[in-house]
């Protein structure tokens, strides 16, 4: 029954949630998701967009999935509401949840509650759904991480999990006991039950909310800011403008710190931060922002990079003449000579437009100052260390007095790799008010904050001999980067640096321009600067193969990079199995039967890729080891805690690091727990960017594990009276190599150690080898201890009447060294493919002529749904990287790189026309077909 309060807007309503009755007081406009999250503390229901697009807020309404963000709490009265918290009973997972855990269907976990609930509604009606039925049921919830493959599999196989599955550590006998096994994620239980706490799920006592006022103009001088009216608004606690924050610039690369905390003299894009407010709730913040009067003088703006470079164009930031933020001028070998030696030289221009990471979890940060003058910041970030580093600069206090805690993170993909305005403003607002302050972006604000992929226009030219040997490559990239630098410098270098790593290029020239415009700043997005040039290169390579009547796979094999090579731009490639990847996809995809033989409208294409396994140099100069780890063994020896400063953003790092450390110590996976990304308790790690965690974090964790093992073996050696060299530690058992029976349980040795020596602590650290790379300007970018390689074959169907592309299948193979957790590797590859399918065919940030984003939402910025992603047949090839822990290297970013080329080449094979601008939309396909027809009619 609804009881109305006096004032007419507030109502008592009884809701039935997970079988319990709750009487809550709401206003008429309160949505169910607010009640669940904020009043009932059921934070397993996520808020990803608030307008019905993303599905993260899914609940079951009388047994059917529904968006809790669109449902008024009052309308939910009398209806049966089930949230993720209502799926397991007495702490025991439902078989469907067990399926999610064991099939690897969870990554960042932000979509997981919705996926489990929609799956549950489906299997309640249809216990054995088909692949198509599952995909249709999931189509209303986006997953940015998994590519849906394992979610679909988990739902289809859920009945296999009526019984508890046996541990995967048992099974086949291998030398390595923990590494190389597809073990379930460390955080999967929390994520599948809705317990995992993301930043926005945290509510501190006496907490305020904050919000940022942004510029409505793409380029304008700020004449005056009047906050008087806002200050007196009931509930407003603090207002910041440039006048009451330090005048210190920040950014990513020290040579290009160019962002103010809040805009000082001018604003440079629609969305530039002008003022920040703290108030008792977000609505009051919004009202206060509306009351702040800013007087602007509009300045001419520029959005096109070519225009921006012209003399006389509006200058955005004084320090970058002609708006050229970064200029790269590389010349390796002699391209002119190379082109002369070629039998065929082709060149073409390719465009990759802006795309956005679109993690399912919006950015959020909470700052709290403690009585001792220290700051604690909870945030959804890829790098706690860089956040702390920048905060210490801006707050002018020592890093040690700032504690940054990375909570569960619902995806980053590069978009959370740098400090953001929420983190900074929350810190200042919390300081000013003396109360905790939470700040979060809504979906539209995320798009305006951006830091997504640069738009690149690429001129690519390749010289080739008749037999397919590449003689020279010349490339020019113009990167449109928006108003500030962000990671742009690095993107400009990466755009060229990674081109010579896949194939043996004897001569290579690269001209790069990173240009500022009056648009939101571009940053680092998965594959950082490389996917667009790779698309250009792989497209042109296939065109040339066809011209020379060669098989595109043969041409790639002919030029493929070999192990232990030095590239023309002085990068040292160690392990390299690109050829094996190509052979694998050729065999598995049925390439030889299909290439050139499919009917019109149907096509097959190949692309290759590869990436660094961690940047060889840090973002700011320091001699610190890049990755560090400590391990603490419990007094009784039964539990081991691994501490690492790396972050978990969904990719499975904490699982992989745990496996590595457990293997190094000789214990089983169930005994190791992991604490991460808390700058007070975990040692420094540079975090999740440049695909660095498995190799660098892994090496540090391995070393820490070995340190523990070494200390234990010394004790064990005395206990069982066997020389150290002869003792082995494996699966919680320390024993004589030559006589397995002579041994003692691991925990007994550990307990003895503690009794005799006090705490058993292991320490590990990792720095990349010194002196990586050449000595030309920018030679550090692209250096890495190791490189991944991959190949992908894609099959498509194109409707030539509507231009619509349907991707039928992907077959991909990866050289990731030793896969530490094969299931996690597959998950990364599948997720990368889905993301790049989106970038190739659907995703595009569209601006109007004034710099407004026309699609800052998830109904017009098109992420692929479960129905868009076809079956993916992903595998790894035999490989071992000596510089990696147990032979491992990266997969997360490298797996994105072959995809665009593979799809683009498949489309070309299907219809005989090339679309050279991304995304390859139906309209662009029809246009290209039309042009071809015209050319054929009027040659």
Partner 1 sequence: MFIKEFEYHRPDNLEEACSLLAKLPEAEVLAGGTDLLTDIDTGIRKANHVVSISRIAELTQIQDLGGKIAIGAACTARVVESSPLIQKYFPEIVEMIPLFASPQVRTMATIGGNVCSAVACGDFPVILIALGAKVELVSLNGTRLVQLKDYFLANRKTVRMKGEILTRILIPKKSKTSASHFLKFQRRASNSLAVASVAAFLDIQEAICKEARIVLGAVAPTPIIAKDASKSLLGKKVNGQIISRVAELARKEARPINDVRGSVDFRRQLVYVLTKQAIKQVVLKCLPRKERSDCTGFKC
Ligand X SMILES: Cc1cc2nc3c(=O)[nH]c(=O)nc-3n(C[C@@H](O)[C@@H](O)[C@H](O)COP(=O)(O)OP(=O)(O)OC[C@H]3O[C@@H](n4cnc5c(N)ncnc54)[C@H](O)[C@@H]3O)c2cc1C
**Binding site residues, ligand X, CB under 6 A:** 52-53, 859
How many Cβ atoms are within 10 Å of 22's Cβ, its own excluded?
16
- 31 contributes a contact to partner 1 by CB under 8 A: yes
Pattern of binders to ligand FES over 355-384, x per CB under 6 A? -----x------------------------
User: x/- string (CB under 8 A) for partner 1, residues 136-175?
Assistant: xx-xxx----------------------------------
Q: Does 489 bind ligand FES (CB under 6 A)?
A: no
Cβ-based neighbours of 116, under 8 Å, separated by 6 or more: 84, 87, 96, 97, 100, 192
Concatenated DSSP letters for 666-732? Answer: T--GGGEEEEESBTTTS--B--SSTT-IIIIIHHHHHHHHHHHHHHHHHHHHHHHT--GGGEEEETT
DSSP, collapsed to helix, strand or coil, labels residue 913 as: coil
Choices 55-63, 211-219, 374-382, 522-530; region in contact with ligand FES by CB under 6 A: 55-63
* CA separation for the pair 249, 264 (Å, rounded): 11
Total residues interacting with ligand FES, rule: CB under 6 A: 25
- Tell me whether residue 71 or residue 490 sits nearer to ligand FES (CB atom): 71
Identify which of residues 806 and 859 has a Cβ nearer to ligand X in the complex.
859
Phi, psi of 662 (to 5 degrees): -60, -45
Look up residue 272 and give its two tokens: 């530039």
Residue 200 is a binding residue for ligand FES (CB under 6 A): no
User: How many CA atoms lie within 13 Å of 466's alpha carbon, on the beta-carbon side?
Assistant: 0
Stretch that binds partner 1, among 217-225, 567-575, 737-745, 916-924 (CB under 8 A): 916-924
47 binds, among ligand FES, partner 1, ligand X, none (CB under 5 to 8 A by kind): ligand FES
Q: How many residues bind partner 1 (CB under 8 A)?
A: 51
The residue within the footprint of partner 1, chosen from 288, 417, 842, 915 (CB under 8 A), is 842
Q: Which stretch in 14-22, 101-109, 577-585, 919-927 sits in contact with partner 1 by CB under 8 A?
A: 919-927
Q: Which 3 state secondary structure label does DSSP give 143?
A: coil
Nearest-approach distance from CB 53 to ligand X, in angstroms: 5
Whole-angstrom Cα distance, residue 616 to residue 236? Answer: 47
Q: What is the CA radius of gyration of the chain?
A: 28
Give min distance, CB of 859 to ligand X, in A. Answer: 6
Instruction: Decide: is 414 part of the binding site for ligand FES (CB under 6 A).
Output: no
Given a contact cutoff of 8 angstroms between Cβ atoms, the answer to whether 852 and 301 are in contact is no
> Candidates 100-108, 315-323, 529-537, 914-922 — which segment interacts with ligand FES by CB under 6 A?
100-108
The verdict on 216 binding partner 1 (CB under 8 A) reads no
Pair 215, 263: CB distance under 8 Å: yes
User: Which of ligand FES, partner 1, ligand X, none does residue 134 bind to, with CB < 5 to 8 Å depending on kind?
Assistant: none
- Closest CB to partner 1 among 716 and 807? 807
* Alpha-carbon span 217 to 844, nearest angstrom: 22
- E strand segments, 820-878: 872-876
Closer by beta carbon to partner 1, 137 or else 196: 137
Beta strands in 588-692 (DSSP E): 602-612, 627-633, 640-644, 672-676
Q: Judged by CB, which is closer to partner 1: 75, or 670? A: 75
Which lies closer to partner 1 via its Cβ, residue 211 or residue 260?
211
Candidates 44, 48, 65, 637: give the one binding partner 1 (CB under 8 A): 65
10 Å Cβ neighbour count for 172? 7
Nearer Cβ to partner 1 (138/665): 138
- Return the number of the residue (70 or 351) whose C-beta is nearest ligand X: 70
Q: Which residue has the tokens 């200058």?
A: 315
Q: Toward ligand FES, which CB reaches closer, 48 or 512?
A: 48
Q: Shortest Cβ contact with ligand X: which residue?
A: 52
Q: Determine the distance from the C-alpha atom of residue 65 to the mean position of all C-alpha atoms in its chain, rounded to a whole number.
A: 28
Q: Where are the beta strands (DSSP E) in 781-889?
A: 787-798, 805-815, 872-876
Q: Which does 146 bind (CB under 5 to 8 A by kind): ligand X, partner 1, ligand FES, none?
A: ligand FES
Q: Is the dihedral of CA 406, 412, 414, 416 positive or negative?
A: negative
Q: Which stretch binds ligand FES (CB under 6 A): 48-56, 166-174, 713-721, 801-809?
A: 48-56
Pick from 36, 111, 122, 492 the residue near ligand FES by CB under 6 A. 111
Q: Is 932 in the site for partner 1 (CB under 8 A)?
A: no
The answer to whether 700 touches 765, Cβ cutoff 8 Å, is: yes
Interaction between residue 774 and partner 1 (CB under 8 A): no
First-residue to last-residue Cα distance in the chain: 77
Should residue 69 be labelled a site residue for ligand FES when binding is judged by CB under 6 A? Answer: yes
Sole binder of partner 1 in the list 48, 50, 104, 603 (CB under 8 A): 50
Q: Is 56 in the site for ligand FES (CB under 6 A)?
A: yes
Residues 102, 161 contacting (CB under 8 angstroms): yes
Tell me, letter by letter, the H, E, C secondary structure of 492-525.
HHHHHHCHHHCECCCCEEEEEEEECCCCCCCCCC
Please tell me whether residue 150 binds ligand FES under the rule CB under 6 A.
Answer: no
892 near ligand FES (CB under 6 A): no
For the chain, what percentages of helix, strand and coil (3-state, to nearest 5) are there? 35, 25, 45
- Does 96 sit near ligand FES (CB under 6 A)? no
Task: Go through the chain and tell me how many residues it has.
Answer: 939
Among 143, 268, 292, 713, binds ligand FES (CB under 6 A): 143
Nearer CB in complex with partner 1: 828/865: 865
Whole-number Å distance between alpha carbons of 754 and 635: 6
Give Cβ neighbours of residue 939 (< 8 Å, ≥ 6 apart): none
Q: Which of residues 258-317 bind partner 1 (CB under 8 A)?
A: 282-283, 286-287
862 contact choice in ligand X, partner 1, ligand FES, none (CB below 5 to 8 Å, kind-dependent): partner 1
Residues 637-656: x/- map of binding to ligand FES (CB under 6 A)?
Answer: -------------x------
CB of 99 to partner 1, least distance (A): 20
Q: What distances in angstroms separate CA 506 from CA 334, 553, 736, 882, one per listed residue?
A: 8, 20, 53, 26
State the minimum distance, in angstroms, from the CB of residue 70 to partner 1: 5
Cα→Cα distances 474→325, 470, 505, 707, Å: 22, 11, 10, 49
- Region for residue 25 given its phi and psi (left: phi exceeds 0; alpha: psi -120 to 50; beta: otherwise): beta
Q: Which of 94, 144, 256, 558 binds ligand FES (CB under 6 A)?
A: 144
Minimal CA–CA distance to 575: which of 788, 826, 813, 780?
788
State the binding partner of 846 from ligand FES, partner 1, ligand X, none, CB within 5 to 8 A by kind.
partner 1
Exactly one of 638, 726, 855, 875 binds partner 1 (CB under 8 A); which one? 855
Q: What is residue 212's three-state secondary structure? A: strand
Short-list 815, 888, 901, CA closest to 580: 815
List 35, 42, 57, 891, residue binding ligand FES (CB under 6 A) = 57
Q: Among 104-112, 216-224, 377-385, 791-799, which window interacts with ligand FES (CB under 6 A)?
A: 104-112
To the nearest whole angstrom, how small is the minimum distance from the Cβ of residue 803 to partner 1? Answer: 8
Kindly list the residues in this chain that would bind ligand FES in the complex (CB under 6 A).
47-50, 52-57, 67, 69, 106-111, 143-146, 360, 411, 650
Kindly list the residues in this chain that would bind partner 1 in the complex (CB under 8 A).
2, 8-9, 11, 27-29, 31, 50-52, 55, 58, 61, 64-67, 70-72, 74-75, 118, 136-137, 139-141, 282-283, 286-287, 801-802, 804, 842, 846, 854-855, 859-860, 862, 864-865, 867-868, 921-923, 926
């Amino acid at each position: 029954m609804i009881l109305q309060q006096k004032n007419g807007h507030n109502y008592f309503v009884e809701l039935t949630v997970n079988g319990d009755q709750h009487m809550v007081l709401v206003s008429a406009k309160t949505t169910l998701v607010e009640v669940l999250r904020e009043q009932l503390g059921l934070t397993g229901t996520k808020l990803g967009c608030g307008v019905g697009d993303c599905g993260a807020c899914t609940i079951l309404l009388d047994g059917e999935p529904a968006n809790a963000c669109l449902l008024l709490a009052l309308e939910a009265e009398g209806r049966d509401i089930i949230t993720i918290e209502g799926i397991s009973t007495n702490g025991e997972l439902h078989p469907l949840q067990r399926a999610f855990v064991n099939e690897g269907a969870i990554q960042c976990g932000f979509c997981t509650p919705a996926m489990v609930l929609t799956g549950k509604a489906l299997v309640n009606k249809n216990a054995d759904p088909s692949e198509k039925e599952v995909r249709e049921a999931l189509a209303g919830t986006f997953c940015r991480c998994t590519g849906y493959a394992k979610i679909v599999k988990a739902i289809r196989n859920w009945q296999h999990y009526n019984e508890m599955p046996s541990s995967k550590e048992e099974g086949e006998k291998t030398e390595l006991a923990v590494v190389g096994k597809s073990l379930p994620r460390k955080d999967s239980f929390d994520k599948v039950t809705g317990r995992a706490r993301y930043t926005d799920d945290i509510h501190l006592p006496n907490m305020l909310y904050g919000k940022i006022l942004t510029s409505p103009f793409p380029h304008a001088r700020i004449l005056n800011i009047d906050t008087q009216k806002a200050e007196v608004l009931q509930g407003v606690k603090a207002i910041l403008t440039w006048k009451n924050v330090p005048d210190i610039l920040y950014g990513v690369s020290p040579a290009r710190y160019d962002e103010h905390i809040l805009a000082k003299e001018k604003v440079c894009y629609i969305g530039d931060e002008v003022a920040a407010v703290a108030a008792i709730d977000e609505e009051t913040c919004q009202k206060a922002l509306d009351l702040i009067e800013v007087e602007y003088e509009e300045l001419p703006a520029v959005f096109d990079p070519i225009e921006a470079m012209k003399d006389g164009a509006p200058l955005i930031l004084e320090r970058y003449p002609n708006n050229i933020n970064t200029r790269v001028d590389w010349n390796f070998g002699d391209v002119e000579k190379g082109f002369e030696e070629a039998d065929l030289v082709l060149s073409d221009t390719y465009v990759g437009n802006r795309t956005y990471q679109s993690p399912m979890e919006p950015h959020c940060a909470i700052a709290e100052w403690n009585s001792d003058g220290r700051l604690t910041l909870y945030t959804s970030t890829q790098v706690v260390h860089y956040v702390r580093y920048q905060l210490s600069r801006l707050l002018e206090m020592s890093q040690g007095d700032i504690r940054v805690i990375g909570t569960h993170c619902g995806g980053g993909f590069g978009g959370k790799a740098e400090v953001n305005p929420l983190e900074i403003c929350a810190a200042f607002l919390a300081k000013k008010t003396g109360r905790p302050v939470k700040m979060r972006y809504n979906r539209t604000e995320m798009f305006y904050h951006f830091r997504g992929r640069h738009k690149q226009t690429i001129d690519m030219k390749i010289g080739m001999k008749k037999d397919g040997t590449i003689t020279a490559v010349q490339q020019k990239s113009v990167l449109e980067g928006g108003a500030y630098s962000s990671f742009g410098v690095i993107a400009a270098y990466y755009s060229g640096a990674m081109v010579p790593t896949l194939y043996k290029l004897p001569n290579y020239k690269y001209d790069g321009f990173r240009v500022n415009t009056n648009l939101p700043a571009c940053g680092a997005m998965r594959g950082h600067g490389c996917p667009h040039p790779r698309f250009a290169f792989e497209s042109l390579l296939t065109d040339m193969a066809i011209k020379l009547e060669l098989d595109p796979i043969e041409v790639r094999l002919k030029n493929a990079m070999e192990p232990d090579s030095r590239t023309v731009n002085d990068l040292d490639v160690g392990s390299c199995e690109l050829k094996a990847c190509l052979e694998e996809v050729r065999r598995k995809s049925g390439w030889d039967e299909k290439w050139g033989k499919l009917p019109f409208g149907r096509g097959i294409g190949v692309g290759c890729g590869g990436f660094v396994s961690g940047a060889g140099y840090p973002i700011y100069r320091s001699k610190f080891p890049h990755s560090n780890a400590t391990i603490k063994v419990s007094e009784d020896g039964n539990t081991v805690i691994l501490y690492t400063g790396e972050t978990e953003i969904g990719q499975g790092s904490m699982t992989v690091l745990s496996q590595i450390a457990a293997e190094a110590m000789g214990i089983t996976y169930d005994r190791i727990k992991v604490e991460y990304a808390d700058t007070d308790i975990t040692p420094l790690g540079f975090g999740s960017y440049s695909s660095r965690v498995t190799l660098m974090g892994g090496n540090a964790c391995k070393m820490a594990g070995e340190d523990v093992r070494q200390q234990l073996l010394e004790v064990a050696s005395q206990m069982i009276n066997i020389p150290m060299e002869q003792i082995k530690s494996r699966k919680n058992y320390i024993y004589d190599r030559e006589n397995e029976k002579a041994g003692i349980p691991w925990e007994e040795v550990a307990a003895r150690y503690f009794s005799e020596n006090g705490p058993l602590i292991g320490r590990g650290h990792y720095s990349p080898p010194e002196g990586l790379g050449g000595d030309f300007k920018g030679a550090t970018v692209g250096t890495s201890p190791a490189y991944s390689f991959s190949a992908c074959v894609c099959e498509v169907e194109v409707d030539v009447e509507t231009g619509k592309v349907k991707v039928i299948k992907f077959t991909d193979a990866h050289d990731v060294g030793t896969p530490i957790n094969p299931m996690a590797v597959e998950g990364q590859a599948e997720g990368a493919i889905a993301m790049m399918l989106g970038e190739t065919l659907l995703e595009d940030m569209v601006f109007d002529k004034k710099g407004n984003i026309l699609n800052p939402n998830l109904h017009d910025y098109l992420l692929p749904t479960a129905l868009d992603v076809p079956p993916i047949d992903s595998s790894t090839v035999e490989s071992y990287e000596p510089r990696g822990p147990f032979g491992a290297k990266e997969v997360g970013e490298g797996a994105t790189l072959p995809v665009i080329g593979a799809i683009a080449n498949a489309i070309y094979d299907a219809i005989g026309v090339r679309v050279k601008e991304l995304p390859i939309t139906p309209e662009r396909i029809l246009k290209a077909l039309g042009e071809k027809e015209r050319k054929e009619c009027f040659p």
